Structure 1
Amino acid sequence: MSRSKLVEANEKIAKNVTEGFNNMSDGVVSGYKKIENAVVGGYTKIEDKFVERYLAHEGESVEEAKARLKKEQEELNNRK
């Protein structure tokens, strides 16, 4: 009888520890994703402004300029 209570108590503790770990893990991953999205979003804004100001041709959108630059870079890499 005593053994059964110990086993039940051990299983209850294991369940609580596992749930606590999963909650903590979810919180850390969620926080990381928020930071990652903020950093990537900030970088993208800066990149778009740079392309718009210094690399885009007259009348060319940022997306068109990025596509053109990517194509030019691929052509350069293929020549090597």
Structure 2
Amino acid sequence: MAKSKLIKANEKIAEKVVGTFEKIEDTVVGGYTKIEDAFVDRYLTKDGESIEEAKERLKRESKTLK
């Protein structure tokens, strides 16, 4: 009985740790994405071009240079 209680407690702790890690990861990745979009919008877009279009153009240009 005591062993099963410990296992259940460890599983609850593991779930909370994983959940917290996922929240932190989502926040960091979301922040990076916002910064990336702002940079592309401010410095790399051409007239009338959306952020997504600029990213695609940059990917194509990068592939042609390699």
Residue in 2 aligned with 1:46? 35
List alignment gaps of at least 5 residues for structure 1: 1-11
Paired residue for 1:28, among 5, 14, 17?
17
TM-score, normalised by the number of residues in structure 1: 0.79
Q: Give % identity.
A: 48
Higher relative contact order (CA 8 A, sep 6+): 2
Task: Give, in whole Å, the separation in 2 of the partners of 1:69 and 1:42.
Answer: 21
Number of corresponding residues:
66
Letter of the 2:48 counterpart: G
Matches within 5 A, 1:1-80: 12-77=1-66
- Runs of 4+ aligned structure 1 residues displaced above 4 Å come to none
Give the Cα separation in 1 of the matches to 2:2 and 2:45: 61
Deviation of 1:76 (Å): 1.4
Gaps of 5+ in 2: none
> What is the TM-score normalised by the length of structure 2?
0.95
Over the residues paired in the alignment, what is the CA RMSD in angstroms?
A: 0.6
Task: Provide the rounded CA distance (Å) in 1 between the counterparts of 2:6 and 2:65.
Answer: 56
Alpha-carbon distance in 2 for matches of 1:76, 1:29: 41
